Structure 1
Amino acid sequence: MKSVAMAYYNGAKYIDEQIRSILANMEDTDELIISVDDASDGSETILQNWAQNDPRIRIIKGPGKGVVKNFENAFRHCRGDIIFLSDQDDVWKKNKMIKIQQAFEDPKVMAVVHDAQIVDEKLSSLNETTFEWRDSKAGFWKNMKKNSYIGCCMAVRRSALKRILPIPDNIWIHDQWIGLLAEQLGKVVFIEEPLIYYRRHGGNVTELTHGSITSMIKKRYHMIMEINRRVKEWSEHDKQNQRHIEKP
């Protein structure tokens, strides 16, 4: 079973096209979890119609605390062994889930990232891919400096999420957090094939631009500190379990 986790916020304009492209990838046993922070743009009816007509879709109430906590909420409701992250305004290519599932056949793989064609709101190419834009590749310090982990291009193994969640409150971006911790848990595979159309328009929740230098330094500091803290927690937890096993 595979799950798709979507964090939703007033996405009426593109949600039909996105859901249709996701369902075209899914098998009967898969699920699409849509965590809804707000659907006051008239999209509540759209979402409910989809859920009523396809049992693979589940609509859940979001926490209303921003995109990171909304994704975390979606993750907690997923039941699949592999969890795909999804934005509300892109379009998936038909071979996306199959290509990614093949990469997870290696049990050491904890997360997968694929390339994406950057397009405008009408799906016209902007002549660049996300891998080109971000110089995408694995590596902790590489991705701390310039993040390759774009959520809508990612999937993560459920067993990894058990250690990645909860996401600390001072972490501003969920996908970089997931990718960097997945590197600590095992392998991350980068697929150099655009498997979605990554739509950029005036209403994107995330933008292609950066904040101030001070803001960027602060965010990276928090990321490093929280990752170190989480890895230390794993180590202590594993040591305690080992002592428990060895105790006569």
Structure 2
Amino acid sequence: MISVCIATYNGETYLREQLDSILLQLGAEDELIISDDGSGDGTIDIINSYAVEDSRIRFFNGPGKGVIANFEFAIAQSQGEFIFLADQDDVWLSEKVQTTLNFFENHPKIDLVISDLVIVDEHLEPIEASYFDYRKVKLGFLHNIVKNKYIGAGMAFRSNLKAKILPIPADVPMHDMWIGLIAAYKNKSGLIPQQLTLYRRHDNNASEIKTKASFIQQLKWRYVLIKALVKRGVLK
């Protein structure tokens, strides 16, 4: 069984495309968990219309405390052996789920994987053919704590990571960075070179490809991350 976790907020423009691309790849026993952060547009109506037709969808009103807490809540509800994270405005390519599951089967010691993405505009026209190439993605704890390349839109992990991941500290810069570093510290992360997601960029994205934060702010975030990882027992 797999769980797909989506955190939604005012996502009516692109949500249907993403839901369709995910649901086509799920089995009868899988689940799509949607946690909404208080949308004021038609997002909830769209979710309800899908949920009435598809029992695999589990819809929750989220904590209303931003994207990190919303993903944390969605992950906490998951019941699957493998957990996929999904943004509300992307599109999954048809082979994403099976390719990811095959990777986990062939790499039993890997707990978390990031698959490559095509960066596209709001009309799904390619901007960059490979997120990995564009961002110079590499594995490794030190590399990613200095310049994070762990991206939730391409992320999936085994459920045994939940005990370390949850709760996600409220002051970390982003949920995917926290999750990725936990797996990376024990060399439990891997990369899938195939582009399996159309990673849509538009005016209302909740995340940035490259941070606009100052150098001082980035240093503060790294300090917060290291402190939180030590407290959680990941760093010793």
* TM-score computed with the length of structure 2 as normaliser: 0.95
Query: How far apart, CA to CA, are the structure 2 residues paired with 1:9 and 1:192?
Result: 30
Q: CA deviation at 1:186?
A: 4.9
Letter matched to residue 172 of structure 2? I
Gaps of 5+ in 2: none
**1:36 pairs with 2:16:** no
Kindly state the Cα deviation for residue 232 of structure 1 after the two structures are TM-superposed: 5.7
Residue 144 of structure 1, CA deviation: 0.9
Once the two structures are TM-superposed, the CA of residue 208 in structure 1 deviates from its matched residue by 2.5
**1:112–1:154 contact (8 Å) kept in structure 2:** yes
Paired positions, count: 234
Which residue pairs with 2:118 in the alignment?
A: 117
Say whether the 8 Å CA contact 1:63–1:73 is kept in structure 2: yes
Q: Sort the Cα spacing of 1:13 and 1:184 in 2 relative to 1 into closer, same or farther, 3 A.
A: same
1:114 aligns to what SS in structure 2? strand
Match of 2:88 in 1: 88
Does residue 66 of the first structure (1) align with residue 61 of the second (2)? Answer: no
Post-superposition Cα deviations, 1:126-172, rounded to whole Å, max 9, x if no partner, equal: 13421112211210111011111100100011011112111112112
Name the residue aligned to 1:199: 200
Please state how far the C-alpha of 1:224 moved relative to its aligned partner: 1.3
Q: Deviations over 1:166-205 (max 9, x none)?
A: 1112112110110110123452110111001000000100
Q: Which residue matches 1:242? A: none
Residue 24 (structure 2) aligns with? 24
5 Å matches for 1:108-147? 108-147=109-148
Q: Distance in 1 between matches of 2:85 and 2:119?
A: 17
Identity over aligned residues, as a percent?
A: 43
C-alpha distance after superposition, 1:218-239 (max 9, x if no partner): 1111111111221269x7xxxx
Instruction: Provide the residue aligned with 1:240 in structure 2.
Output: none
Which residues of 2 match residues 233-244 of structure 1 at below 5 A? Answer: none
SS class of match (2:185): helix
* Gapped regions of structure 1 (runs ≥ 5): 236-248
Q: Distance in 1 between matches of 2:234 and 2:187?
A: 16
What is aligned with 1:157?
A: 158
Which runs of at least 4 in structure 1 moved beyond 6 Å after TM superposition?
none
Query: 1:216 is matched with which residue?
Result: 218
RMSD: 1.4
Please state whether the residue corresponding to 1:33 is helix, strand or coil.
strand
2:75 aligned with 1:75: yes
